[in-house]
Amino acid sequence: MSSLRFSITTSLDGYVAGPRQSVTHPLGEGGDDLHKWAFAVRTFREMHGMEGGTTGPDDDIIAESLRNIGATIMGRHMFGGGDGPWGTPPWKGWWGDNPPFHTPVFVLTHHPRDSLAMQGGTIFHFVTEGIHAALDRARKAAAGKDVALGGGADVAQQYLKAGLIDEMEVHVVPVLLGGGSRLFDHTDGRQTAYECIRVVSSPSVSHFKYRRKG
């Protein structure tokens, strides 16, 4: 069976998004600072149609996270467009006409809508039946490859609490946000079922890779 792999960046004080998240500030106020390390590396820039970028350990970590991924699961806020019904015309996501996934993406939501095909092979499917249904559909679509779990914090907490994550990588940056969404709230301590198997550090970020024990 394919693995469910989770990767996310947190501040030093444990927040994966800043306070007051909105359509204007999808990562919350100050949340963009969490991802400056990723914005700088070559692999990330290539994914988003940009030139340049640095190489080294941070670039290697991102390149590794993309290998053998056949589908992705994310929450409504990561896809974009705020809360509530989708509206007319419905929001098409933060990612532009050619999102960087190039595989099926399953978006958890309370509000149904038709699948959305984008350029480059990305197809967004909107799942209203919950986290298990999304994972079942993603694994079928991945056809033996692994499934990537995106944010936000609420989605990660649901999968972690249900014991469904096989591997996770937490990227910790030396930023203090002071408020927002914390990664390990509402998990019933299920993160203790994982052991750290690798630490890679650069001046910008430390990468902690965990695997479920046993």
pLDDT confidence of residue 15: 95
pLDDT at 55: 96
Quick one: pLDDT at residue 20? Answer: 85
> What single string gives the DSSP state of each residue in 39-50?
HTBHHHHHHTT-
What are the phi and psi torsion angles at 5 (to 5°)? Answer: -115, 130
Give me the pLDDT at residue 88, please: 86
Q: What CA–CA distance (Å, rounded) separates 84 from 75?
A: 13
Per-residue pLDDT of the chain (214 residues; tens, 9 = 90+): 799 999 999 999 999 999 887 777 878 888 899 999 999 999 999 988 889 999 999 999 999 999 999 999 999 989 987 788 998 888 888 888 999 999 999 999 999 999 999 999 999 999 999 999 999 999 999 999 999 999 889 999 999 999 999 999 999 999 999 999 999 999 999 999 999 999 999 999 999 999 999 8
Structure confidence at residue 95 (pLDDT): 81
Give the pLDDT score at 29: 87
Helix (H) or strand (E) holding 153: helix 153-161
Q: With contact defined as beta carbons under 8 Å apart, do 125 and 146 qualify? A: no
> H/E element holding 154?
helix 153-161
Quick count: other Cβ atoms within 10 Å of Cβ 55?
11
Distances (CA, A) of 6 to 96, 151, 164, 166: 23, 9, 10, 8
Q: How far apart are CA 53 and CA 11, in angstroms?
A: 22
In single-letter form, the type of residue at position 40 comes to A
Q: Which of 151, 159, 147, 148 is nearest to 187 (CA)?
A: 159
30 closest CA partner among 50, 46, 13, 51: 13
pLDDT value of residue 96: 86
What pLDDT, on a 0 to 100 scale, did the predictor assign at position 25?
80
The residue type of 5 is R
Whole-number pLDDT of residue 141:
98
Residue 176 belongs to domain with CATH number: 3.40.430.10
Entry pTM? 0.94
Please give the residue range of the domain that contains residue 96: 4-212
pLDDT of residue 90: 87
204 within 8 A of 175, measured Cβ to Cβ = no
Q: Tally the domains of the chain.
A: 1
Residue 210: predicted pLDDT: 98
